[in-house]
Amino acid sequence: MAKKHLAAMIADSCRRHEKQTAMRYKEGGVWQEISYGDLGSKIRSVAGALIDLGIQPGDMVGIFSQNRPEWTIADFGTLSAGAVSVPIYATNTAAQAEYIVGDADLKAIFVGDNDQLAKVQSFASRYPELKTIVAFDGEPVSDGDAVMSFETLVERGTSGEHAAESERRIRQTAPESLATLIYTSGTTGEPKGVMLSHTNFAHQIEAINANFDVGPDDRSLCFLPLSHVYERSWSFYVFSRGAQNNYMRNPREILDYMREVRPTAMVSVPRLYEKIYAAVMDRLEKSSPGKRRLFGWALGVGRNMADVRQAGKTPALGLRLKHRLADRLVLSKLREIVGGDKNFFSAGGAPLSKDIEVFFLSAGLLVCQGYGLSETAPTVTYNTPHNFKFGTVGRPVPECEVKIGTDNEILVKGANVMMGYYKKPEASGAVLKDGWFHTGDVGLIDDDGYLVITDRIKDLIITSGGKNIAPQRIETAVGRDHYIEQITTIGDRRKYVSALIVPSFDALEVYAREKNITFQSREELLQKPEILVFYRERIDRQSSELAGFETIKAFTLLPQEFSQENGELTPTQKIKRKVVAENYRDLIDAMYPQD
């Protein structure tokens, strides 16, 4: 029972794996290591310092930073002080961060760099309960305990004076108690604080452990924001298994880090896999017919080998020999793009195209797609290395029930379901009914018990002709193109589907130069007739599996990306459709001249 408390879990893991490397991070271009023994010591120091500063059991402590070892140490230190950790996305604006500080009544907050420190200091005076700001970077200038460096905080707790109090708080905290508040991205309305307990995360650790094999020899790359429940829950599991977590601050450097770290397992959103797939397909398009034939042959052999193995059969000698050649010539090179062999990848947060799943498996890389939400800590269903079915998000995890309700809504019951929304009983009651969590997602369970997601109820497009259209299906198909960075579809109460598309300008500008298309600005480039024809052809090519009424009839290319600053993206990079529709109303109306 005690190990269901996250602080007890990490303390136990730090004792059992004392000499193992728990964390790696880059400083000045050189990899640094923190052992499990040192991690445990730092966590105890942070807990002692927070107790010394007056943090009480149940108090809320924020973490407003990019991924880094200090993020995790602060998280576990907060939990070890009996407090509740409240992550804030590093990319949040000052106003977004202030909302969380006020709503959660934070008593202390950890901040990453000077930008986040400045944001908090711009509003801190309005919240007298916020007594302490701890800065991960530098030595901030301050009077007393109002602002201090992380090093100062750790030093304050090294005496061990409050060790017994920390242990007492952990023992007296029931597993069902609140562990964290994770604020939803808020694609509609204001963010809500999802209340997750220690039991919620203990369930996730046990569910992953039931069907995945991770241990001290494994390496994970901490890629998604730790403020995202997906990476946070996965990292809890990584540490529970004594594995190694490698931190990176800049997600744009992901492929470089993958080649250096060579992770054996990691989680990601589909966009990473889509970009890798698109880049490979683009290079293939430009290669010679002979190379294209070799590539297709090698992938076909890889797929055949994967099918045989999935069926539990022994590959015939001929297939083994062909696969050895295909692997040497093509498949091993594909795996090197992501840092070599993997036990598995995991994907969640958005749909992943079946074509991309098959591509990776043929190369010898299994992507286990799953489904979940912040409200379910997060995993509800998953594909596993031994039971997977492409085109689905897997079967329910252990100790979790899934059923399809009214309007094909996915309903969930289990120990992973949240306690409710913080200070929002009405919102909680609207989704927690008769013991079931109403997800707002639409789906079906196939004959083999695998869940298929079709869309969000609120996102469904109903055309003026009465056609029900799932925009995610269109965006997944078309958005995988190498020359598309962002896409959102339009069409609700309109005659047909249209789209706003942000090109991948790095790729497009290379194409333009290769074709001797001259331009002085992005705006000028996007008006070129040959560019519009180029995108029309690529959209149509990627839409081959869509029904006629689902295809994009009109589109507009945008010279700038949707952004969080303009309110068009959530911190998890989901597009806020209503905001985009308002911001680009004139451009959208222009695509419907007869309306």
Q: Is residue 572 part of a domain?
A: yes
**426 and 471 inside one domain:** no
**442 and 488 inside one domain:** no
Residue 369 · residue 378 · CB < 8 Å: no
DSSP letter, residue 548? G
**343 and 423 inside one domain:** yes
pLDDT of residue 212: 96
**225 and 329 inside one domain:** no
| C-alpha pair distances (Å), 480 with each of 276, 390, 473 | 10, 17, 11
Residue 247 · residue 69 · CB < 8 Å: yes
- Token digits for 133? 């700001």
Residue 461 · residue 581 · CB < 8 Å: no
pTM exceeds 0.85: yes
- The helix/strand/coil state of 521 is coil
Which uninterrupted H or E stretch holds 114? helix 114-121
**240 and 288 inside one domain:** no
Q: Is residue 37 part of a domain?
A: yes
Quick one: 480 exposed, middle or buried, by C-beta within 10 A (0-12, 13-18, 19+)? Answer: buried
Q: Is residue 204 part of a domain?
A: no
Q: What is the 3-state secondary structure (H, E, C) of 397-463?
A: CCCEEEEECHHHEEEEEECCCCCEECCCHHHHHHHEECCEEEEEEEEEECCCCCEEEEEEHHHCEEC
Q: Is residue 189 part of a domain?
A: no
**225 and 109 inside one domain:** yes
Q: Is residue 242 part of a domain?
A: yes
**114 and 135 inside one domain:** yes
Residue 163 · residue 44 · CB < 8 Å: yes
The CATH number of the domain where 512 resides is what? 3.30.300.30
Q: Is residue 207 part of a domain?
A: no
CA gap 287, 386 in Å, rounded: 36
pLDDT of residue 271: 87
Which residue has tokens 């880049």? 279
**31 and 111 inside one domain:** yes
**98 and 167 inside one domain:** yes
Among 456, 491, 515, the domain-final residue is 456
Which residue has tokens 């711009």? 122
Among 251, 280, 314, the domain-final residue is 251
**139 and 233 inside one domain:** yes
CA gap 388, 396 in Å, rounded: 12
Residue 560 · residue 568 · CB < 8 Å: no
pLDDT of residue 2: 42
| C-alpha pair distances (Å), 297 with each of 71, 132, 332 | 46, 61, 14
Q: Is residue 182 part of a domain?
A: no
pLDDT of residue 1: 34
What φ, ψ does residue 46 adopt, rounded to 5°?
-65, -45
The CATH number of the domain where 29 resides is what? 3.40.50.12780
pLDDT per position in the chain (595 positions), as tens? 346 899 999 999 999 999 999 999 999 999 999 999 999 999 999 999 999 999 999 999 999 999 999 999 999 999 999 999 999 999 898 999 999 999 999 999 999 999 999 999 999 999 999 999 999 997 776 656 689 999 999 999 998 899 999 999 999 999 999 999 999 865 556 789 999 999 999 999 999 999 999 999 999 999 999 999 999 999 999 999 999 999 998 888 999 999 999 999 999 989 899 999 999 999 999 999 999 999 999 999 999 999 999 999 999 999 999 999 999 999 999 999 999 999 999 999 888 899 999 999 999 999 999 999 999 999 999 999 999 999 999 999 999 999 999 989 999 999 999 999 999 999 999 999 999 999 999 999 999 999 999 887 778 888 888 888 889 889 999 999 999 999 999 998 899 999 999 999 999 999 999 999 999 999 999 999 999 999 999 999 999 989 899 999 999 999 999 998 888 988 878 888 989 999 999 999 999 997 6
Q: Give 329-371 as a DSSP string.
A: IIIHHHHHHTTS--SEEEE-SS---HHHHHHHHHTT--EEEEE
Q: Is residue 295 part of a domain?
A: yes
Among 420, 439, 456, the domain-final residue is 456
**110 and 60 inside one domain:** yes
Q: Which structural domain, as residue segments, surrounds residue 125?
A: 2-173+212-251
Residue 230 · residue 372 · CB < 8 Å: yes
**384 and 485 inside one domain:** no
In DSSP terms, which residues pair with 125 in a beta bridge? none
When divided into structural domains, the chain yields a total of: 3
